[in-house]
Structure 1
Amino acid sequence: MDNKEYSAGLTELRAVRDELKPLERELSQLQAKVGKLRDRRDEKIRELGGYAKATSDRIATAAGLGVIDIVALVPSLAPQGASEGPGEPPATETAAVDQLAAQAPAEPIKEMVASPTAEPQTAEPAGTVARLGAASTDTDSDLEVLAESEQASPAPAPAAAGAGEDERVLPSIPEGADGDRWFHAEPDLASKRPNFRQDARGMAFLDAAIGVLVWQGGTVRLDLGRASVAEILTAVYAVAPVAVERIYITAGDPWHQSSERHDFLKDAVAEWLNGPLPDDWTVESSRGKDRQAGHLVHPRNPVGRWQRGKDQHTEIRSVGEWFDPEGADPATVRAAFVELWKALRPNFEDVVLMGSPSQTGRDLWSRTIPAKAGAKWADGFPVMSQEIRGLLHATAGQGRTELIAPPRVPERVPGWFEVDRTFAYAKHTWASGVGVPQRITAARFAAMSEKEQTNALFAPSHWQVRVTIPKDWNHVGLLPAPAPGERSWHYPYEGGRTFTTWAGGAEVNLALRNPLRPWRIEILDGLLWESGDPLKSWSTKLQKAWRSLRAIAEMHGDDQQRQACRLASRAVRSILLYGIGTFAQRPRITTGSLELGTGGEVPELPDGARLTGITDTHVTWERNQGFARDQYAHPEWAAGVWSGARAALLSGSTSSKDPETGKPLKAGALHLPPGSVLAFRTDAIYSSAPVEWPYGGEPGDYLLKGRMTWEQTAPRTDEEFYYLQGLARQALEAEDM
């Protein structure tokens, strides 16, 4: 660069500065205005929510929000049937059904530790409360009913720091006829076996870092420039046929290329997705049985959808939706998808690999629905009312994510051990609730015999309970309780504390029959389903594919095929994991983007949408559209699997036998010394004490994934936790070399 170029560059920089400053001022003013309007809206919602006849659905419609948003602001309003969004979102938006909540890491909830304080009294369902003792921990005797009849009344009890006015109060089922109206199936809506076959889509696999593209027709190296959308589409379709409709990025993450200029990854992703397009290309606006329109702005696994003319459609997706490629080249990743299809084909005759594991999982499950005339559920599995689905959405959490920091554990711990349950969810799919549930009120439960009570708690069920922790309890918490913030959970552990929550039958049983000391459980209300096996055939077939791929990965003589089969086995796990998540049918979140005006003005957003990001050329937004009429909406199944997995994380059977008794050996956090558990991450336990549970390689068994046998500083933050996790995995890998 010479002096002339330098001077010209300074002139250009000043022009950019002068153009940027007014936009920044306008953005600041806009953000301030948006903040004030949101505060004003929320204040009005709380005011209206105090009206005795207020309903969340009417307020949601008036506010342009979803019912769940209203309940978060006014917890006293039970979910009264979330308003349905449009059946098909416009071309500029996309329903995020192929990015499950299960795919995003659960928000870590760190329990605060302080001296117990008085817990505020909260309103609870009135009526008779059945107080339950627990069966002896070494027998299978029935429950002992301690009080046949007692009026429900909240009692002050010790509470953890952080429990206060901001802690969420979970919704309850209304009393009397209002609550009875919740217990019905949606009319003309049931899960039925499809009568069509999915269309197969051509796939290509691209390493965006080095420009290597692999598809059925061969392997080529491309010049991608900066790997913008325009450069990728131009380069790929210069060599690949239009039949290639999915481009999986295996490495390079081009959507993060401007991340240093943004505070949030989603803004960088939105900027990349909305970049300039080649001539004749537009954002996709058509849809079919398995196609969606528009982009999905996800921070790590986005989906971009475009079309050229009316006939050519393409998606750019991350292979990270399926598995971590662990540095595998595009040819190996393609081989993994081939092996995945080959392993599924013997068990699912009409298998088609769709864009994501969640879509694939739901489609494969739908093809296991009974179709033979006269078979039970041959007419389809009924979908519950929106009220029950909304209640489960608000009260049934997913995997347990918890960091247990000092002073609950010592500042310095003697070691670090990570164990993870293999293919854990597969072990909790044998029995699920089917049909419309019965309501089991406190009075009805108290009137049951001890055997009926036991049977009810062991059946597929979901209970509103008041929990009292034993005064001398010195281990981890057992049951989830609402924490501040929507869909956030923590696990109270303080001896003597009483709290009210919702929990699945598996967790309630664990609290009553844990190997240390029973907790006191009072049944306030509950949902009880008929026990069936709607997921069993699907899960069994996926497990067969998983086992066959693992066996090939152990025995194959070719390194690439071994790695491909190993990756394919993880894809099977994703199909089951995220397939279960699709049943939860979270409220429908749509995202979209709009171009700024010619002068940089922010355009008017769609009704009910909120601004989520702004770039030099576009704004992004999202909108909660409530619950759609989805024939595959079965949150009762997802809730049951999640509850069983959380319970087994504390204590559950393994595939190994006790040599003395011949019974399955038990494993879980409660089988570790008090004060040794450092963290939970969905199916993983992190401990400062050595973990020596035998590993049989079956679903639910604990696999050692990280180990450091020397003293460590206990983590206090997520950053410190993940740093130690990485070190321990490297240390174990070094031991095995």
Structure 2
Amino acid sequence: MDAQSYSTALADLRTVRDQIKKARAALAKLEADRDKRIVQLASYEKAKAERIAPAAGLGVADVVALAPALAPGSLAANDDPQPPAPAPSTPQATADPAPPPPRQRAAAPAMADAAARPAPPPAPAETVAPEPPAAPQAPRDLPSIPTGASGDAWFAHTSGLASTRPNFTQQARSTVFLDTDTGVLVHRSQTHRLDLGARSAADILTAVFHTVPEGVERIYITAGDPWHRDADRYPYLRDAVAAWLNAPTPGWRTDTGRGRDRMAGHFVHARNPVGRYQRENGEQHVEIRSVGEWFDTDGDDPATVRDAFVLLWQALRRHWNDAVIMGSPSQTGRDLWTRTIPTRGQWSDGFPVLSEELRGLLHATAGQGRNELITPPRVPEQLPQLVEYDRTFAYAKHTWKSPVGTPRRITAATFAAWSEKEQIRALYGCGHWQVRVTVPDTWHHVGLLPAPAPGDRAWHYPATPGAAFTTWAGGPELHTALTNPLQPWKIEILDGILWDDGKPLDDWAKKLKDTWTNLTAQAQFHGDPQQARAAHLASRAVRSVLLYGIGAFAQRPRMVTGTTPRTLERDVPPDAEIIGFDDELITWQKPTGFSRDPNAHPEWAAAIWSGARAALLSQRHRDEGTYAGALHTPPGTVVAFRTDALYLTATQQWPHHHQPGDYLLKGHLTHPVAAPTTEEELLALRDAGRTALAQNGGQN
């Protein structure tokens, strides 16, 4: 590019910038006009938010925010403190990956897609009008248990609902593996090359069923991500995915479920969606899924992926003679767990499900992994190096003890009346506690307990000396805060839920750990590189079975999507959020609340997550008599937490015996780097560190 073309390109860029500004101004004007019209409509005495919402392309909550008079009277009159509905995370009927929180308006940055698309170049500084600073968001309030009899009524089980051992054999489904980039299809021992046309769902179904006329029930996409083919046309990846799933499929329609299989409808997810289709005559059903639900592929061909699933099935069969690989790891994990429910003894009649109120409280107050980036001045602006330690198969370390039995409420008065020994035993047991926390005045390390932050289901970890906050936390985290090697924190018990200690997950987890160990050994010692790679992928799949199986116990309120013709606009469900529309169809999503799921045990997931977060801070290695974790590093050396990984500025001599929970050196940049200030910068450094360690012959 010469100077003249550079100047021309700059002029063109300014033109695009001005067009964007005009478009935004026009959009803001249209939105203001829309909001004004909504307020005018609300003045009509018979106006209803559920009628106005689809006409405006908004959710009912958005309409009520603009016109509070349209709020349902029953909600306005409800003074009973109830747990707010959490953001949907895992649709239980599908047990598939979690959808993101409800979308922001189109003018907001697409945070979920930030890693998928490069940021646009900024406009020249001298021409950009400064935006007014955003108003600071207040931390959200966490729910509490009501006082008196209304709160005591929560401490019961849902009548007639319990996890029981199945009395049927799970049926396997005919499966094919398809690379939509190359068109290579693997069906059993045969390999075919397909013409996939434009890679639409209709093109894939037509090509696959032409090649395998006897029919298949599951199509795993191993590469290509065809649902992203029109991503540039949409502001969010989920919009592109929804459009791909809901595009016309002649001869097929959206599956409505059958028999024991309650999974129906498409599952819209930015990365790993699920398309469910059935023939117009109802005779055939098929799913299109991403193999990314199970493990990350790195250019692996469909034959290697097929071999990984075969090895996975064979390894599971050593422990479950009726094991079947289902569509997702979460489905597989829960199905395998039900087949470990005892047939004799205390729990032979099943594990009862908590009341809906307690489940709702746990959903709102028990977070999952710790994800925190610590930025300057809490760490140096120039890091001497960056080291990544990842806890191997981390959640498997925390399944040996879980809550069972009827929960008991432990009020502040009850707890205060106990002896110190009783208090310690309770906090070390299976409990979930509402606490008032005060950071010590001389504290100089990372935060220890999660506190609610602005945003749906967002958490942060206060570490400022003297800071005080109210939160909920599990026993392992409270025990760590009170007995940490630096300085005990002040914890005031406000309320709590306490269960008996049990082992409902122990047998299941031991079998999965043994399966993982077996496949990991095959990956290390197999003489055939392709089979070694397949064994490695299979071992990663076992990790997903346990990880997502635990997440499935959380049983978040399910989110479903659907479409309605524009001509039938008033048929859009009143509590649905409009997520897209064109000249013919309105696409919407809505939460369906808690289903009567007999395998809903959020108390188990919450206990495991709490134990994993505590182990990031401090974990004892009994054989060596040593400790590992963030609190065993010097202050100012912890750069980030990321679910089960730690990022530090110095290497540690922590033992690693290839056992669940051990800290594995996963990445290492030995030279100085600028401290990351965004998640994207951290992930870029993580990838560079893993590459550098692999090139230097380290473990990866």
TM-score above 0.5: yes
C-alpha deviations, 1:6-63, integer Å up to 9, x for none? Answer: xxxxxxxxxxxxxxxxxx9999699754559644514459997996753478xxxxxx
The 5 A counterparts of 1:631-642 are 631-642=598-609
1:275 aligns with one of 224, 227, 247: 247
> Which moves more between the two structures, 283-292 or 34-43?
34-43
Matches within 5 A, 1:567-716: 567-597=537-567, 604-615=571-582, 617-654=584-621, 657-658=623-624, 663=625, 665-716=626-677
Question: What residue in structure 2 maps to residue 382 of structure 1?
Answer: 352
**CA apart distance, 1:96:** 5.7
Q: CA deviation at 1:710?
A: 0.7
Q: Does residue 226 in structure 1 map to residue 198 in structure 2?
A: yes
Whether 2:527 is the aligned partner of 1:557: answer yes
CA distances 1:218-250 after superposition (whole Å, capped 9, x unpaired)? 001111122111111111111114442100000
**CA deviation after TM superposition for structure 1 residue 287, in Å:** 2.0
Match of 1:428 in 2: 398
Which residue of 2 is the match for residue 357 of structure 1? 329
Q: What is the one-letter code of the residue matched to 2:629?
A: G
Give 3-state SS (helix, strand or coil) of 1:214's partner: strand
8 Å contact 2:58–2:578 — kept in the other structure?
Answer: no
State the SS of the aligned residue for 2:330: helix
Q: 1:264, CA displacement in angstroms?
A: 0.2
Unaligned runs of 5+ in 1: 1-23, 58-66, 73-81, 83-93, 109-161
Q: Does 1:297 align with 2:297?
A: no
For residue 423 of structure 1, report the CA deviation from its aligned partner. Answer: 0.5
Question: Which of 709, 723, 728 pairs up with 2:689?
Answer: 728
Please say if 1:41 is aligned against 2:64.
yes
Query: Which residue of structure 2 lines up, in the alignment, with residue 54 of structure 1?
Result: 79
Report if aligned partners of 1:49, 1:55 keep a CA contact under 8 Å in 2.
Answer: no
SS in structure 1 opposite 2:168? coil
Aligned-partner SS, 2:516: helix
Counterparts in 2 of 1:471 and 1:186: CA distance versus 1, 3 Å: same
Cα distance change of structure 1 residues 233 and 28 upon mapping to structure 2, 3 Å threshold:
farther
From 139, 158, 163, the equivalent of 1:186 is 158
CA distance in 1, matches of 2:203, 2:265: 19
User: Structure 1: how far apart are the matches of 2:584 and 2:75?
Assistant: 42
- For structure 2, the residue ranges without an aligned partner over 5 or more in a row are 1-26, 36-55, 102-110, 113-133
CA distance in 1, matches of 2:63, 2:512: 50
- Cα distance in 2 between the residues matched to 1:99 and 1:443: 42
Secondary structure at the counterpart of residue 467 of structure 1: strand
Instruction: Measure the CA separation in 1 of the matches of 2:643 and 2:28.
Output: 44
Report if the CA contact (8 A) 2:185-2:194 is conserved.
yes
How many angstroms apart in 2 are the aligned matches of 1:313 and 1:305? 7
Distance 1:475 1:31 in 2: 50
Aligned match of 1:285: 256
Local SS of the residue matching 2:217: strand
Which residue of 2 is the match for residue 68 of structure 1? 84
Structure-2 separation of matches of 1:178 and 1:187: 17
Does residue 341 of the first structure (1) align with residue 308 of the second (2)? no
* Displacement of 1:594: 3.0
Alignment of 1:528 with 2:544, yes or no, is no
Q: Structure 1 residues 163, 578: CA separation in 2 closer, same or farther (over 3 Å shift)? A: farther
Q: In the superposition, relative to structure 1, how do residues 284 and 50 fare at CA in structure 2: closer, same or farther (>3 Å)?
A: closer
Amino acid at match of 1:319: V
Question: Residue 605 of structure 2: SS of its match in structure 1?
Answer: helix
Aligned to 1:324: 296
Q: For each residue in 1:286-334, what CA deviation from the matched residue of structure 2 results, as whole angstroms up to 9, or x when unmatched?
A: 3232352221111100000111222211110000000001211000000
| Distance in 2 between residues matched to 1:388 and 1:44, nearest whole Å | 31
Question: 1:116: which partner in 2?
Answer: none
Shift of 1:276: 2.5
| Residue in 2 that maps onto 1:114 | none
Q: Quick one: distance in 2 between partners of 1:98 and 1:53?
A: 32
Q: Which deviates more from structure 2 when the two are superposed, residues 242-251 or residues 165-174?
A: 165-174
Letter of the structure 1 residue corresponding to residue 84 of structure 2: I
Post-superposition offset of 1:427: 0.6
The alignment status of 1:502 with 2:472, answered yes or no, reads yes
Which of 464, 473, 483 in structure 1 is aligned with 2:434? Answer: 464
Q: Determine the C-alpha separation between the residues in 2 that align with 1:630 and 1:335.
A: 33
1:461-506 deviation line (CA, Å, top 9, x unaligned): 1111111111111111000000111211000000111111100000
User: Do 2:59 and 2:577's aligned partners in 1 also have CA atoms closer than 8 Å?
Assistant: no
Pair 1:172 & 2:144 matched: yes
Gap change, CA 1:53 and 1:213, over 3 Å in 2: closer
**Equivalent runs, 1:87-126 vs 2, <5 Å:** 97-101=94-98
Q: CA–CA distance in 1 between the matches of 2:161 and 2:659?
A: 37
Q: Against the structure 1 CA distance between its residues 478 and 706, is the aligned structure 2 distance closer, same or farther, given a 3 Å change threshold? A: same
Match of 1:512 in 2: 482
Tell me, yes or no, if the aligned pair for 1:610 and 1:622 is still in contact at 8 Å.
yes
Greater Cα shift, 323-332 or 34-43 = 34-43
Q: 1:685 to 1:264 in 2, by over 3 A?
A: same
Q: 1:376 to 1:545 in 2, by over 3 A?
A: same
Matched, 1:257 2:229: yes
Letter paired with 1:666: Y
**1:136-194 CA distance string (max 9 Å, x none):** xxxxxxxxxxxxxxxxxxxxxxxxxx998721111111112121111111111111111
Instruction: Indicate the residue corresponding to 2:15 in structure 1.
Output: none
Q: Residues 179-218 of structure 1 correspond to what in structure 2 (within 5 A)?
A: 179-218=151-190
Q: Which residue of 2 aligns with 1:238?
A: 210
User: What is the one-letter code of the residue matched to 1:722?
Assistant: L
Q: Per-residue CA shift, 1:638-672, capped at 9, x if unaligned?
A: 000000000001111247x33xxxx3x21111111
Structure 1 residues 35 and 603: alpha-carbon distance in aligned structure 2, compared to 1, 3 A threshold: closer
Q: CA RMSD in A?
A: 2.8
CA distance in 2, matches of 1:614, 1:284: 21
SS at 2:308 equivalent? helix
Is the CA contact (8 Å cut-off) linking 1:102 and 1:578 kept in structure 2? no
Q: Which moved more, 1:201-210 or 1:693-702?
A: 693-702
Q: Cα distance, 1:595 vs. partner?
A: 4.0
> What per-residue deviation string (whole Å, max 9, x for no partner) do you get for residues 555-612 of structure 1?
1100111000000001000000000011111112112223444xxx966421211111
**Contact (CA 8 Å) 2:92, 2:552: kept in 1 or not?**
no
Tell me the residue number matched to 2:338: 366
SS in 2 for 1:636: helix
Indicate if the aligned counterparts of 1:103 and 1:578 stay in contact, CA closer than 8 A.
Answer: no
TM-score by length of 2: 0.84
Distance (whole Å) between structure 1 residues aligned to residue 32 and residue 469 of structure 2:
44
Counterpart-to-counterpart distance in 2, 1:458 and 1:102: 33
8 Å CA contact retained: 2:315, 2:515: yes
Q: Is this contact kept in 1: 2:97–2:269, CA < 8 A?
A: no
Cα deviation, 1:695-714, whole Å, max 9, x if unaligned, reads 21100001111110111011
